[in-house]
Amino acid sequence: MDRKLSITTIVLSLLFATLGIAQPNIFDIKSFGGASHADITMAFTNAWKAACGSTTASKVMIPRGVYKMHAVDVKGPCKAPIEVQVDGTIQAPQNPDELNDAYQWIKFGYVDYFTLSGKGVFDGNGETAWRQNDCGKNSTCKRRSMNFGFNFLKHSIVRDITSKDSKNFHVNVLGCTNFTFDSVTITAPVTSINTDGIHIGRSTDVKVLNTNIATGDDCVSLGDGSRQITVQNVNCGPGHGISVGSLGKYPKEEAVEHVLVKNCTITNTDNGVRIKTWPSSPGTSPITDMHFEDIIMVNVLNPVIIDQEYCPWNQCSKLVPSKIKISKVIFKNIRGTSKTKDGVVLICSKSFPCDAVELNNVALTFNGAPVNAKCVNVKPILTGPTPKCTTAAEA
């Protein structure tokens, strides 16, 4: 067996040499003072600096073991493609204050051709932060750290890793282009507060594929400036579903457009697929070209919903309608079970009614019977076995 392995190694080495494919330079954190059951903040930071400075492809290795890490902010530009492979468990401090108000616990920024991979677990140790979270009644509450920040990355991928028990959102994507999540696991108990799985904003061509997300908030949420987004083969639940928004709360927001959510299963969530905007708020950028297709709902409270009167914790007024125009939205081949009779709720803005909304083969049931569809300021196109839309005047 050893002889066979040696021959294989030799053949692969010759192949790499013949094709001119360079094997990546390996930067193991153990070579930088990192050790299991110890704090590897400096070891990881120094390994990153060395790898980022390599003129050929490099890989930072965090091998099996359990490690501690405080907040890190590693940046490019790097001189060549760089990968971080994590096969161990990395733990954040339990005390949220020990992260020194870092917006994200682990932040990667300004890199082209970045990869985060491995079977490792990033444990945010969020229980204390959840107990202290009073944002529902305190508008000046202290913001706790997310597990990850991916900022201004291009042509990059995150695959196979697990994000566990973040103190806040698990993942925030900002200013990225051609960025993919594949076979990622995101997990936190349903009682965890504000633990969105993946939040995307001001980014183009982001894909969330073959991923399992179970949290106490949105599985995937799209902020302003999200364009060409694909969410496919995702298992979502528990949590609050897959959401576009919330949007409109702030001035100078960017449009959200060209979104595809397809082949997803949503289980035991508060919402299924949702678009949400704030009333009485300054944002005016449109939402357009949304496709929600081939989705299975299992015991979902609000399977299909547009809510342009989104106002959590009564922190706003509904006197002035939302200024955001929603158009070209398709809900197609959506089936399964609703926890409410009104399984389809489309509440659009009185000032800017929704245009070109289509319900195509929306076959949802409540206690074995077809659900109702409630529609306000929208006249959707109905195709296939879809519930008739009851307007506000008919209600």
Q: Please give the single-letter amino acid code of residue 112.
A: D
Cα–Cα nearest to 81, from 155, 15, 178, 152: 155
Q: What are phi and psi of 128, to 5 degrees?
A: -65, -40
> Is 174 within 8 Å of 198 (Cβ atoms)?
no
Dist CA 204 CA 208 (whole Å): 13
Active site residue 240: yes
Catalytic residue among 37, 70, 199, 240: 240
Q: Residues of 70-96 as b/e, b for ≥16 C-beta within 10 angstroms?
A: bbbebebebebbbbbbbbbbbbbbeeb
DSSP per-residue codes, 337-381: EESSSEEEEEE--SSS--EEEEEEEEEEEETTEEPEEEEES---E
Those residues with Cβ within 8 angstroms of residue 119's Cβ, 6 or more apart along the chain or in another chain: 86, 87, 160, 161, 162
Alpha carbon 388 to chain centroid distance? 33
Cα–Cα nearest to 364, from 390, 345, 338: 338
The owner of tokens 């066979």 is 4
> Is 314 within 8 Å of 283 (Cβ atoms)?
no
Write the CA distances from 202 to 102, 114, 119, 176, 225, integer angstroms: 21, 19, 29, 7, 4
Alpha carbon 269 to chain centroid distance? 16
- Is residue 211 left, alpha or beta, with left meaning phi > 0 and alpha meaning psi from -120 to 50? beta
Q: How many helices (H) and strands (E) does the chain have?
A: 3, 31
Alpha carbon 271 to chain centroid distance? 16
Q: Please give the single-letter amino acid code of residue 235.
A: N
Supply the residues annotated as catalytic: 240
